């Protein structure tokens, strides 16, 4: 009796996925609980396992296909049942891709790197990893691919350029002869790399465009003197680390300050649902984290109940999971407000874009020493520009400006966070 492998229910808002890669080919033996196929969603990658022992039969969707919840991916036949497709036929791969590399190699390659390698038919054994511990990343695969294509272009260019014998002296002329150009000069052989856009990148693109088309987005700015927070960290960091096993960063201060400001201005912690305004009494703060294929936004649930140490630990866990590609759907669900820090990449000022259905997002930036006027004197201070992008349909400009002023006040007087954050 055959058993179907279907696209599982992957939780809130996830209705489609892309076949990232097949870990087994038709005719391969599989065991119950063994991962057979990897699905890529707009949030995380999900491995789907076989429910029973058997032989992998017909694969309904090759790598690269888009599928929906409940679609049949393949069937598992009972042992002893003949499978129409020979074992050696690489039906589980597309575009000439080779079978999945052996597990020992996979252990030092990120999920995205494995998917790109499978799509391009690259054997990961020949790719050098520049990541921690020799880990192979997407950039390593693309760099290898670019190098190979450049070498091929050079060979083709050489073959297309005919070898010209020395011209007799009587034919030398100061005027170049007219006629067609060399079929391909070195300048023409620049090469291109075409990589299939991942589902996550496609979804990010779609949502960014959707946010711009459906929300009345405006951005307001302010600047914060970071002296007090930096002094507090300098004085307390060693003691904090000994007690909690982690250093106190800037993000926990801004999470606490944001919660204090959200409590003062409830509409910024809400959302619009058709003709209704929904005000939320809980504070699930999303933290934008850089991953290989773009930013992901894991959520600190009930952040108002977290200590500084808990916030720092959770953010560190999210960053590691994002790098390893192990974020779970539960890590990314929901969120009432988002904080993004472009300063870690050197950004001095930017206008963050909304993360629907949220109605506001706080953008942090690089701390830079600048001269400011303070008490009638010009002083050098570590300053940070902050930006709040908001949906004007729900949040008025006055509220947005006062929200940023509240954050400025709390950051410049960190002790106030104990009372209001």
CB burial string 184-211: b at 16+ within 10 A, e below = eeeeebeeeeeebebbbeebbeeeeeeb
Alpha helices in 63-110 (DSSP H): 103-106
Q: How distant, in Å, are the alpha carbons of 103, 205, 372 from that of 44? A: 21, 16, 45
Note if 396 is an active site residue. Answer: yes
Whether 334 and 284 have beta carbons less than 8 Å apart is answered as yes
- Alpha-carbon gap, residue 56 to 51, rounded angstroms: 11
Note if 392 is an active site residue. Answer: yes
Which helix (DSSP H) or strand (DSSP E) does residue 219 occupy? strand 217-225
Choice among 188, 330, 396, 413 that is catalytic? 396
Question: For 257, phi and psi rounded to 5 degrees?
Answer: -65, -40
Instruction: Establish how many alpha carbons lie within 13 A of residue 243's alpha carbon, considering only the half-sphere containing its beta carbon.
Output: 10
- Alpha-carbon gap, residue 123 to 89, rounded angstroms: 18
Alpha helices in 121-249 (DSSP H): 138-160, 199-214, 227-244
- Alpha-carbon gap, residue 63 to 99, rounded angstroms: 11
Choice among 123, 231, 392, 413 that is catalytic? 392
Catalytically annotated residues: 392, 396
């Amino acid at each position: 009796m055959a058993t179907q492998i279907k696209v599982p229910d992957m939780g809130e808002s996830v209705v489609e996925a892309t076949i990232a890669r097949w870990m087994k080919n038709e005719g391969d033996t599989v065991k119950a609980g063994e991962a057979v196929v990897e699905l890529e969603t707009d949030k995380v990658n999900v491995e789907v396992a076989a429910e029973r022992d058997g032989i992998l039969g017909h694969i309904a969707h090759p790598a690269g296909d888009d599928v929906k919840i409940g679609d049949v991916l393949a069937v598992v036949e009972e042992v002893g049942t003949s499978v129409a497709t020979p074992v050696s036929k690489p039906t589980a791969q597309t575009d000439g891709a080779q079978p999945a590399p052996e597990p020992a190699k996979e252990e030092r390659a990120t999920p995205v790197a494995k998917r790109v390698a499978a799509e391009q038919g690259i054997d990961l054994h020949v790719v050098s990893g520049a990541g921690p511990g020799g880990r192979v990343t997407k950039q390593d695969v693309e760099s290898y691919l670019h190098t190979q294509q450049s070498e091929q272009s050079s060979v083709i260019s050489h073959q297309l350029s005919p070898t010209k014998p020395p011209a007799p002296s009587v034919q030398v002329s100061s005027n170049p002869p007219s006629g067609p150009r060399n079929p391909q000069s070195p300048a023409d052989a620049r090469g291109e790399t075409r990589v299939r856009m991942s589902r996550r990148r496609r979804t990010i693109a779609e949502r960014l465009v959707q946010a711009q088309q459906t929300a009345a987005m405006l951005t307001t700015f302010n600047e914060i003197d970071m002296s007090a927070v930096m002094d507090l960290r300098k004085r307390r960091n060693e003691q904090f680390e000994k007690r909690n096993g982690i250093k106190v960063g800037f993000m926990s201060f801004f999470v606490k300050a944001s919660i204090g400001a959200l409590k003062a201005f409830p509409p910024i912690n809400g959302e619009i649902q058709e003709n209704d305004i929904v005000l939320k009494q809980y504070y699930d703060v999303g933290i934008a984290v850089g991953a290989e294929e773009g930013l992901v936004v894991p959520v600190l649930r009930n952040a108002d109940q977290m200590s500084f140490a808990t916030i720092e630990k959770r953010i560190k866990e999210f960053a590691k999971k994002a790098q390893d590609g192990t974020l779970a759907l539960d890590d990314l669900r929901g969120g009432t407000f988002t904080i993004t820090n472009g300063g870690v990449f050197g950004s001095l000022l930017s206008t963050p874009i909304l993360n629907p259905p949220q109605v506001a997002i706080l953008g942090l930036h690089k701390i830079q020493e600048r001269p400011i006027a303070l008490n009638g004197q010009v002083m050098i201070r570590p300053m940070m520009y902050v930006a709040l992008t908001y949906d004007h349909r729900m949040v008025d400009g006055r509220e947005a400006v006062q929200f940023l002023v509240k954050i400025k006040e709390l950051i410049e007087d960190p002790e106030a966070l104990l009372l209001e954050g």
